[in-house]
Amino acid sequence: RISRNLTITLDLSAGKRYVYGYYSSSDNTQPNTDIYKELHLHNFLLSGDLKSVYTFGNGHLKQFVSGGFCFRTVVSDDSRIEADIFYSDIVISDTYEYNTGEKTSYGLTLGLGLSFEVSGKISLTTALDYSELFITKFPGGYRSAGLRLGMNF
């Protein structure tokens, strides 16, 4: 806590990301060839925010605005692509590893929220957060919005 209304917070979180994708294509020459691919993206992620929070208002219910830096890193990647190729009456199936090459990304985060003081040192919070990771290997970066619910003590 820097002052009564201004604090600096460090939030760390870990989670599992699972993404499923599907792709198919056809070759209309004779004999027909159909290709089906399924992406199974399995990552263990570590993310965090270092931000300043400014609280304003009187009484038990206070509003706040926050902003700062955020990061996300891929701790482990166990992803794969499953492919099935249909060629005439023959089906060829294969599974191979898929690595996104993603490691650590950096960006900015902003938030607006409410805090309800339950007692002198305990408060309940809710906030709408927006993050954009733009220092990354991939074009366009990552954008995310979320609803945060929590308790501070």
| pLDDT tens string 25-36 | 877 666 678 889
Return the half-sphere exposure (C-beta side, CA atoms, 13 A cut-off) of residue 20. 0
Return the half-sphere exposure (C-beta side, CA atoms, 13 A cut-off) of residue 73. 6
User: What pLDDT, on a 0 to 100 scale, did the predictor assign at position 104?
Assistant: 92
User: What pLDDT, on a 0 to 100 scale, did the predictor assign at position 29?
Assistant: 67
In angstroms, the CA 107 to CA 124 distance is 27
User: CB under 8 Å to 117, separation ≥6 — which residues?
Assistant: 60, 61, 62, 123
Q: Considering the entire predicted model, what is its pTM?
A: 0.71
Instruction: Place 54 in a pLDDT band, splitting at 50, 70 and 90.
Output: very high
User: What pLDDT, on a 0 to 100 scale, did the predictor assign at position 69?
Assistant: 97
Average of pLDDT values for 101-127?
91
Instruction: Place 66 in a pLDDT band, splitting at 50, 70 and 90.
Output: very high
